[in-house]
Amino acid sequence: MKKRPLTVTVLSFVFIAAGVTGLIYHLKDFKPQHPFQYEIIWVTLVRLLAIIGGLFMFLGRNRARWLCLAWLGFHVIVSAFHPLGELVFHAVIFVAIAILLLRRDANEYFSVRKGT
């Protein structure tokens, strides 16, 4: 088994932390008297995807690496409808994390578990 690169470990925890932090932050938006708030369902789903992606990326699942990159790509697209600074920030973060997750050491780590 190939040893997990430090960058994969750190980024896995970053995605998990981003998901958990987002869930906690959006708890205030949940109103029990209005149980069917579709925005909350979508926000929760997006945050859960970050947690799942981070967890399985930590475990070396290649699909989770792509899930995390897609999750970030989604944020770049969404931030296109916000101020330009947000778009630039998300785009820079996306490129930086993509570079780290697509480096040779990460590719070798994820290729050990082909098909997962």
**How far are the Cα atoms of 19, 33, 42, 64, 89 from residue 99, in angstroms, in the given order?**
21, 45, 28, 16, 16
**How far are the Cα atoms of 21, 33, 39, 116 from residue 27, in angstroms, in the given order?**
10, 14, 12, 32
pLDDT of residue 88: 96
pLDDT of residue 32: 67
Q: Domain map of the chain by residue range?
A: 6-111
Question: How high does pLDDT run on average in the chain?
Answer: 90
> What is the spatial distance between Cα 37 and Cα 57, in angstroms, rounded to a whole number?
30
Per-residue pLDDT tens digits for 63-87:
999 999 999 999 999 999 999 999 9
